[in-house]
Structure 1
Amino acid sequence: MPNADYRTLVRANYRRLSQSIQGFKPRREQNYLVAEIGKVLLGQYDSGRRILVAEAGTGIGKSLAYLQAGIPWARLNQKKLIISTATLALQEQLVSKDLPLFQPHCQPGFTFALAKGRARYCCGRRLEALALGENQLGLFEAAEGPTPAQQRQLAELWQAWCDKRWHGDRDSWPEPIADALWQQLQAEAHSCQPQWGHHNCPFHLARAELDRVDIIVVNHALLLADLKMGGGVVLPEPEQCLYILDEAHHIAAVAREQGSARLALRQARRGLEQFNKGLGSFSDLLGEEGQPALGRLQQALQQLLPALTTLYNQLAGALQRTELCPDEQGCLRFATGELPGFMDEALSALKEDNKAFARALERVQGQLGDQLKRQPARAAALEAALALLSQQQRRGEQTRDLCELLLRPTGPRQTPPARWLEQEPQELTLCATPLAVGHLLEQWCWSRAAAVIMVSATLTALNDFGYFRRAVGLRADDGSHYLRLHSPFDYRSAPLIIPRLDCEPTDAGFDRLLAEQVPVWLAGQGASLVLFSSYRQMQGVAEALRAKGFSLLVQGEASRQALLQLHRQRCDGNQPSVLFGTGSFAEGLDLPGHYLTNLIITKLPFAVPTSPVEEAMAEWITLCGGNAFMQLAMPEASRKLIQACGRLLRTETDHGRIVLLDKRLVSRRYGAALLDALPPFSRELS
């Protein structure tokens, strides 16, 4: 593709777009982002590694920028454009606003679709069977089957699907579908048989649409799940894709979640015992030729059940003898990832027995599939058996992943996974999460993709990309290009106020201080958002303020949507409104104009390393000779503080103030670094 053709298209598209929008104002930073994305895509920085990491502050219009630069390149190079986001709100914005806005003005033209995971779609055959009153799948408890209300909803779902008024996905149904009911309906990979045909399958119909469109919008979890499986399962193969990862600061955390595994030992055994009791009904379905496969499955079960029991009993015994000592929450993290010696043999046996069980399941599944071809009249019963096999295959994969993470050897330069045990009454759960996922992202995506554009409003920490780069597996010298564009907003018109307080958040009297200070900074204000570091602290301050007569909208007391709707109604009616929220309200909350003019941050967002994953990460940094506070806590706090402060100014005409009730910004040496990383608010010490 000649570079001139691409640049000509981008300029022409921009001209048509700008002429069609009334009152359009060119944004210098947005245009610069378009140009830099174009240079990366054309290989001007590195023709062998087209990767851009771009921090684009609020108000730049990054989504419209990457659409302008990315779509023509992908279309000219016959690549699929995959736009991945972390939040549903941004997905909805792209699908309902940004892409439709750009579509009439873009050449070459494009089509787009929103991709969802298989579990968001129902299985057409399951829906039909349950709607017609057939509970042959054996998925409902006992013989009761669906309740009358569930049966009515099943009939409505089935009729809507038959009438083509519903696409078969949970999200587009106007009424809630209970989790317990949806679990019986949802499509599953293992129980989906090609011989049943895909012409009446909601998931495969949606999957076929993805093959036809030019742009696919996904979330990070689905993208990484597909990449983990090698790519090309739900989405196209990485070599055929231009990836745009918006809200890219979430990528490492989502990758860790994808690599995590957990196994509740007694629950796993109970599930296998229940499955074993139902195997007798398989004999008639399999016929004479399937009996050897059934025998091998029963034999594998007889080996796997004792392996689970042995591991449980060994752990329970060690806990009883206090050789293992969980904390007050029943959590025991294995320091430096080292397991007690007795676990190695038990886990190795479990791994091998689970592997044999998985092979036996596949043989029986194949035999049942053959029977389905020969005996379509028995499809309902055969499908019920295959559905039960599907459940066991899914559970077996969880066991396999857990064993591999727990038994994975680690060398002196390899970061060990976080490994821990959770103790509950009558249950022990083993858990593991990889800490370092950068090499996985390099293997899954960075080294394979046609191009990758990562954007977010917060990718730097303490004014540096190093923290993000290490988390996602990039190197300073690998050819990736970095760009930082500041917001065009007038931050100096918004004061950042740091009151002179008597104590710090670590002091015993801080909660009482908040109950006294928050009302001071709410006085005379119209639209306020108060951000807390913990639910406990938020609820305590809320109780104290309500006792003084304050009317508050507190996170958790109603849905997020309901709270925000009520907040906007009060603001529109010129009534004071006060929102209380925690960390999730510090990111992604969009309250422009008069909906937020007074932002109060009660405490610097330092994470307390109480989770096993956070503890393990801090421990590993220390063991490697580093400083966990400076390398982990500080960069993360800086990023979160920038996100929190970003709630105030959402448009060029917004105004207001930020009050930060944490004197450590001025009393501790690290405070200056955190302040310098913020946008250039005018600072006031009061």
Structure 2
Amino acid sequence: MLSPSVKKDIRCSYENLKAQLQNFVPRKAQNYLVAELAKTLAGEYNPKRRILVAEAGTGIGKSMAYLMGSIPFALNNNKKVVISTATVALQEQLIEKDLPLFRRIIPKEFSFVLAKGRQRYCCGEKLAGAASAEGHGQQALFEKKPKKSDIDLVNDMYEAYKKGKWDGDRDAWPKTIPDSVWMSIISDKHTCHSGLHAHRGCPFAKAREFLDKADVVVANHSLLMADLELGGGVILPEPEQALYMIDEAHHLPIVARDFSAASASLIGAASWLEKLNQSASKLANAGDIKRSSRFLDALQTGIQVLIPGLRAVREMLKSLPLNADGIYRFEDGELPESLVNEAKELQKAVKKAHQSQAKMHDLVSERVKDGEISARLADPLLAESAFFLQRMENLEKVWTLMAQPNATKGAPLARWIQQCPERENDLVVHVSPLEIGWRLDQLLWSRAAGVSLMSATLRALNSFSYFCRQVGLDENDGTRFLALPSPFDYQENALLVVPSLPYEPQQDGFTNMLPDVLMEYLEGQTSSLVLFSSYWQMNQVADKMRAQIKKNGWHLHIQGEASRTAILDAHRRCCKEGKVSVLFGTGSFSEGLDLPGNQLTNLIITKIPFAVPTSPVEEAHAEYIERKGGNPFLQISVPEASKKLIQSAGRLLRKEDDSGRVVLLDRRVVTRRYGKALLDALPPFKRVIDHL
């Protein structure tokens, strides 16, 4: 049950919010969401399943709702709140606006911090070494010989770091740091950790101190998955002590799947293994050759199996027929027996080599810690070793997954090879899971103190079923589900038009027809966004329309012709100055684009956003569903299209007093059986559907 103190803190926060905000409008849906979240976290619905899945329509104010529902509960129950987002924009909104506001209105004090992965911080010791006079001997850490400008940049960063004017955060440096420079000073878990005295004051170690003390941690989905894959509680708070507020949750399945995937080249890996073989004796000597000789022997033995093994696999695979994209996918994830045998041998060899190198690395670290060898001598060796250790970890993951037999239950792994873009004679081996729900359940749902998954679009075709399958939840497993509609008056303020047209998008004449149709629906409008299915189609249409648009005195802004920020700023300026402005964009403009008021009153969607399964993972997933007797189009393509269509239509109304029109130029919502379900899943616009 919710304790009286939690209820009191929530009520007090709400009253203070009303007093703080001018023109405050109470929202029933927001209040309901706060209450349902707090009750779910308190275990009132199910003490063993404190999970809430909530679709909260635009305008509800879901970020303030989950802050109000989770932070008072966490502070009163000695828990931490972890907020995970998919976009930098939402992170910035939370850190710069929402959390500072909430801190002003809640009766109890709390602290919050933005969490970043280790790779966003430099290592103080590496930076000092790279900047020192003799430190140009650390050029081994640069993949290429550093330019004078690179050395000057490193020196500038070191001076700023030493004087406390820079905290070692890559994002806080005023100019872009080239990757080649950053990789030479980046913090890594093998050389830059608090176990080594000299590294206890490194930027990431200091950042971890803030993280450990903070009551609320803001992260992104990738960092969340990285922490969970490490066992949880390594970077972020431990799952058992954390309440996870997963915002933009519709992105989580893809992030989780990609995080569990792995890839490595064959000839490229053999090449760096040769370099490791040559430099391994230096590491062994630094770690005391008497103690490390057996690990050196084991490492070199493993490498002597790996290099010819990887080259043999390259010979074995080079005759496979690659498609136009340079890809060959193994059907149903099944490998030929000869490749399975090679994979098993490679997995054993890389595991042995990895463990041996890690032991040698640890011996050097111990000698530094005990003062038997100077950090100045050891750091370059440890940095080089860490570089190889990270590659070795990845190589072990690839060949472990390649050697793993397909499970008798559930989806197989997708496995494919691809022509290496850097080396013509090389192939890259890829492995990816198709379904990630079981892994999320294992790492998160079954361990967390509480979870809320929220987004404006979680349902597909008015159902949570598709999302549940993706993330490993069940509508009957005790999880709480909410679908809260937007407070906007769609009937009064928005119109959905589906015009009568001679062609449907899959027909040859559709693209040629678009310029004339678009001119008709742009006429008389001041601020329009046209969403296309592809860059190719958008550019084809733009080329045919430019002259007419210019002749009309309208301003055309096309995605890709400048940065996203520059294009949107130009559009906003036109709207402010009363000029007619037209935006052309593709799928990425259908989400996260905020154009309130007169910045968008006319939204044209050229086609239902069906994704063609072109990636090997998508093809493998479709193949798996077909093999089980399912229909991949109805089970994957239509639900995905439904979500994307809702997101696209959601660009129109951003505030309660916004108004405008959505024009859908795809007749399939009328002519196909699935069309009605797609239409009914959209917000309740007033409809004008022209029948042929």
Where on the TM-score scale, by shorter chain, does this alignment land: which range?
Answer: over 0.9
Decide whether the 8 Å contact of 1:419 with 1:431 is kept in 2.
yes
Q: Percent identity?
A: 47
Preserved contact between residue 304 and residue 357 of structure 1 (Cα < 8 Å): no
Cα separation, 2, equivalents of 1:96 and 1:286: 47
Q: Could you tell me which residue of structure 1 aligns to residue 472 of structure 2?
A: 473
Displacement after TM superposition at 1:104 (Å): 1.3
Contact 1:198 1:205 in 2 (8 A): no
| 1:212-241, Cα deviation, whole Å (9 max, x unpaired) | 110000001000110111101101110000
Q: Deviations over 1:179-227 (max 9, x none)?
A: 2211112111122242244442101100110111100000010001101
After superposition, give the CA deviation of every residue in 1:499-558 in whole Å (9 maximum; x if it has no partner): 211111111122111232222222222211111111111121122222435442222222
CA distance, structure 2, for counterparts of residue 583 and residue 151 of structure 1:
41
* Residue of structure 1 equivalent to 2:237: 236
Q: Which shows bigger deviation, 539-548 or 436-445? A: 539-548
CA offsets, 1:562-586, max 9 Å, x none?
A: 1111111111111122222111111
Output the aligned Cα RMSD: 1.7
Range with greater deviation from structure 2 (243-252 or 422-431): 422-431
Alpha-carbon offset, residue 278 of structure 1 = 2.9
Q: Is the 8 A contact 2:141 2:383 kept in 1?
A: no
Bigger mean CA offset, 266-275 vs 115-124: 266-275
The equivalent residue for 1:566 is 570
Give the residue type in structure 2 aligned to 1:219. N
CA distance change for structure 1 residues 140 and 522 in 2, over 3 Å: closer, same or farther? Answer: farther
CA distance in 2, matches of 1:80, 1:510: 53
What residue identity is the alignment partner of 1:62? Answer: K
| 2: CA distance, partners of 1:233 / 1:132 | 32
* 5+ residue gaps, structure 2: none
Contact 1:297 1:364 (8 Å CA) reproduced? no
Do structure 1's residue 515 and structure 2's residue 506 form an aligned pair? no
Matches for 1:476-487 after TM superposition, within 5 Å: 476-487=475-486
Give the structure 2 partner of residue 48 of structure 1. 48
Q: How far apart, in 2, do the equivalents of 1:678 and 1:139 lie?
A: 57
1:369 to 2:346 alignment:
no
The answer to whether the aligner puts 1:15 opposite 2:20 as a matched pair is: no
How far apart are residue 109 of structure 1 and its match?
A: 1.6
Secondary structure of 1:135's partner?
A: helix
1:418 corresponding residue in structure 2: 414
Please tell me whether the aligned partners of residues 596 and 653 of structure 2 are also in contact (alpha carbons under 8 angstroms): yes
Structure 1 Cα separation of the partners of residues 28 and 549 of structure 2: 48
* Kept in 1: contact 2:84–2:219 (CA 8 A): yes
In structure 2, the residue corresponding to 1:496 is in which secondary structure? strand
Tell me which amino acid in the other structure corresponds to 1:195. L
Using the alignment, how far apart are the partners of 2:535 and 2:336 within structure 1? 36
Deviations 1:23-77 (A, max 9, x none): 2111111111111112212211111111000000000000001111110100111
**Structure 1 match to 2:428:** 429
Matched, 1:624 2:628: yes
2:95 paired with 1:95: yes
Post-superposition offset of 1:280: 4.8
1:344 matched residue in structure 2: 340
2:405 to 402, 405, 409: 409
- The equivalent position to 1:591 in structure 2, one of 570, 588, 595, is 595
Residue 303 of structure 1 aligns with which residue? 305
Which whole-Å deviations, capped at 9, do the CAs of 1:259-316 have from their partners, x for residues lacking one? 0000111111111112223335446534442444333322322222112111111112
CA distance in 1, matches of 2:287, 2:449: 47
Distance (whole Å) between structure 2 residues aligned to residue 281 and residue 210 of structure 1: 37
- 1:136 partner SS: helix
> Contact 2:529–2:585 (CA<8 Å) still a contact in 1?
yes
**What are the superposed Cα offsets for residues 137-176 of structure 1, whole Å, 9 maximum, x if unpaired?**
344557x742222222222211221222222111121211
Are 1:528 and 2:528 an aligned pair? yes
Out of 634, 653, 673, which is 2:638 matched to? 634
1:189 aligns with 2:178: no
Deviates further, 227-236 or 296-305: 296-305
Amino acid at match of 1:423: Q
Alignment partner of 1:224 is 2:228: no
Query: Aligned partners of 1:180, 1:243: CA distance in 2, in Å?
Result: 35
Contact 1:438–1:473 (8 Å) recurs in 2: yes
Q: Which amino acid aligns with 2:30?
A: Q
User: Aligned with 1:453: secondary structure?
Assistant: strand
Q: State yes or no: 1:167 paired with 2:133.
A: no
Deviations 1:583-619 (A, max 9, x none): 1111111111111111111110000011111111111
Partner of 1:356: 352
1:32 and 2:32 aligned: yes
Residue type of the alignment partner of 2:381: A
Distance change >3 Å, CA 637–CA 611, structure 1 → 2: same
Is the contact made by 1:533 and 1:583 (CA closer than 8 Å) also made in structure 2? yes
Amino acid at match of 2:359: R
Per-residue Cα deviation, 1:303-342 (whole angstroms, up to 9, x for no partner):
22112111111112xx1xxxx3221111111111111222
1:330 aligns with 2:326: yes
1: CA distance, partners of 2:111 / 2:372: 39
Which residue number corresponds to residue 681 of structure 2? 677
* Contact residue 136 and residue 381 of structure 1 kept, 8 A: no
Tell which deviates more after alignment, 602-611 or 358-367.
Answer: 358-367
Whether the 8 Å contact between 2:91 and 2:219 is mirrored in structure 1 is: yes
The residue aligned with 2:610 is 606
In the alignment of these two chains, the number of paired residues is 679
Question: Higher mean Cα deviation, 547-556 or 38-47?
Answer: 547-556
Task: Give the direction of change, closer, same or farther, for the CA distance of 1:228–1:604 in structure 2 (3 Å limit).
Answer: same
The two structures have a TM-score, normalised by structure 1, of: 0.96
In structure 2, the residue matched to 1:83 is: 83
Query: Given the alignment of the two structures, is residue 272 of structure 1 paired with residue 273 of structure 2, yes or no?
Result: yes
What SS does structure 1 have at the residue aligned with 2:136? coil
User: Match of 1:548, SS?
Assistant: helix
What does residue range 55-204 of structure 1 map to in structure 2 within 5 Å? 55-133=55-133, 134-140=135-141, 145-193=145-193, 194-204=195-205
Match runs of 1:429-508 below 5 Å: 429-492=428-491, 493-508=493-508
* Residues 332-379 of structure 1: CA deviation (Å, up to 9, x unaligned): 111111112221011111101101101210121122123323557742
Structure 1 gap segments, 5+ residues each: none
> Which amino acid in 1 is paired with 2:461?
L
Q: Deviations over 1:417-467 (max 9, x none)?
A: 111111242111110111111111111010110000111100110000000
Larger deviation, residues 640-649 vs 37-46: 37-46
Give the TM-score of the pair, scaled to structure 2.
Answer: 0.95
Say which of 652, 656, 661 aligns to 2:656: 652
Asked whether the 8 Å contact 2:367–2:373 carries over to 1, the reply is no
Query: Structure 1 stretch 643-652 or stretch 625-634: which is displaced more?
Result: 625-634
Range 484-493 or range 176-185, more displaced: 176-185
Specify the code of the residue in structure 2 equivalent to 1:58: T
Paired with 1:328 and 1:611, the residues of 2 have a C-alpha distance of 13
CA distance in 1, matches of 2:481, 2:518: 40
Deviation at 1:476, TM superposition (A): 2.0
